Every structure is written in C-alpha cells, then in structure tokens.
A and B are shown apart, each in its own frame.
Chain A
Amino acid sequence: DTGVSQNPRHKITKRGQNVTFRCDPISEHNRLYWYRQTLGQGPEFLTYFQNEAQLEKSRLLSDRFSAERPKGSFSTLEIQRTEQGDSAMYLCASSGTSGAPRADTQYFGPGTRLTVL
C-alpha cells in the first residue's frame, strides 16, 4: 500500500491556460474522488468514479472542468481557460469496494496546489 499520489504537487499558470492534474489511487481501490480546498475551508466534493464510470458530479464542476479515469486506475482532472478563482488545492482520494474493510473510508493524496496568476 503505497498511498495515493498526485502530480504535480504545485502548478502556477496564467489566466486562460489549460492545466491537467493526475491522481494515482491505492492500487486495489476502485473508487476515486476529487475535491477542491480553498484557503481556510474544508475540502469540497467535485466528482467521483467507480472504476472508469463517473457516477456523480458537483455543481461546482463547471463546463471548464473535466475528469477522466479511462482504465479505472489513474485519473486526470483538467481545467480549461483557468480563472483566478480556480486557485486552490485539488485533492484526490480513493476507497475500496462495497463490503471491503475500507470501503467507507477515503484515503487522501497530498494534493496539487494550483495558483492562477
């Protein structure tokens, strides 16, 4: 169990550019979640996958945001035409299948901190 990894850890971009983040979950976990955390706030749910299927999306996930998990393993989160309001920490978490000992517990990666200038 090597934990959830996220890359890059930090990203600085100019307004209007596109950015993509990657999340590698714990290998046996089939559920993957994305959250956004702004300064002084708790994480806010964005979307989650069960295997390769995206099952739920938050209203926070505007049309400029897209997430994929093509083979049910790693996931990417892309933000198009970034805005200064997108500056935040983007957290990824994973959990196991229903009935598994850790199905109800999400394990978080270190996050990707995005700064939009």
Chain B
Amino acid sequence: AQSVTQLGSHVSVSEGALVLLRCNYSSSVPPYLFWYVQYPNQGLQLLLKYTSAATLVKGINGFEAEFKKSETSFHLTKPSAHMSDAAEYFCAVSAFTGGFKTIFGAGTRLFVKA
C-alpha cells in the first residue's frame, strides 16, 4: 500500500525567497515519486520525477527535489520564488502493479508575495 502526506496545506513566501514544500511517502515497494503543479482550472503538469536513479532530481522552472529513503521524504525546493510559481503543488507516489496507479497528496497551495 502507498500513501503520501504533504505537510502544510498553504505555504507563503516572498518573491526571491526559498521555496520548500514538504512531502513524506509510504510505500511497500520501491516507489516512483512525482511532483505536479496545477494552475487554476487546469490539469496537472509534471514538474519532476524520481524513478530510482539519482536521488537529487532536477525539474522544470528551477525546481528540484531530493529523495531521502531513510526519512521517506521527497521535499520540493526552489532557491528563488517567482510570482508565476503561485499554484497548487501535488506530491505523488506510484509503483508498477500492471499499471502505475498514482496516489496523490492533498496538495500545498503556494502563495508568493511581492
């Protein structure tokens, strides 16, 4: 069984500040981990994914995440927030069971202050 917990339903940062969105997962098999971003009234866009290769994963728009097995974490970071980063972010976990059923966290809404 798999699950995802995103710590903090809302995060607010100033423009130019570090962005840190926390995600902890649970999986009975080696997981695939993802971060997606969702803008209002749109579908989900893949930011980055971990699939058992390098533990530090770089994604689009300057985001990166580090897989830490000992902490069962996959936190998302960006060194300098931009106004356009304001959106909902979802951490997700999946494992191959014939297909990749993906379990999503509840999401973290990121606010960026000018």
Contacts of B98 in A (CB 8 A): 50, 55-56
Q: Of A104, A108, A111, which contacts B45 at CB under 8 A?
A: A108
Contacts of B36 in A (CB 8 A): 108
Interface residues of A toward B: which range? 20 to 34
**Contact code string B79-108 (vs A, CB < 8 Å = 1, else 0):** 000000000001010101111111111110
B49/A43 in contact, CB under 8 A = no
- In the complex the two chains form, what is the Cα distance from A80 to B106 in whole Å? 27
- Count of inter-chain pairs, beta carbons less than 8 A: 67
Contacts of A103 in B (CB 8 A): 100
- Residues in B1-54 with C-beta less than 8 Å from chain A: 4, 9, 32, 34, 36, 41-46, 49, 51
Contacts of B105 in A (CB 8 A): 42
Interfacial residues, chain A to chain B (CB-CB below 8 A): 4, 6, 31, 33, 35, 40-45, 48, 50, 55-56, 91, 93, 95, 98, 103-111, 113
Q: What are 15 A-B residue pairs whose CB atoms fall within 8 Å in the complex?
A: A33-B99, A42-B4, A42-B104, A42-B107, A45-B103, A50-B98, A50-B99, A56-B97, A93-B44, A103-B100, A104-B94, A105-B34, A108-B44, A108-B45, A111-B42
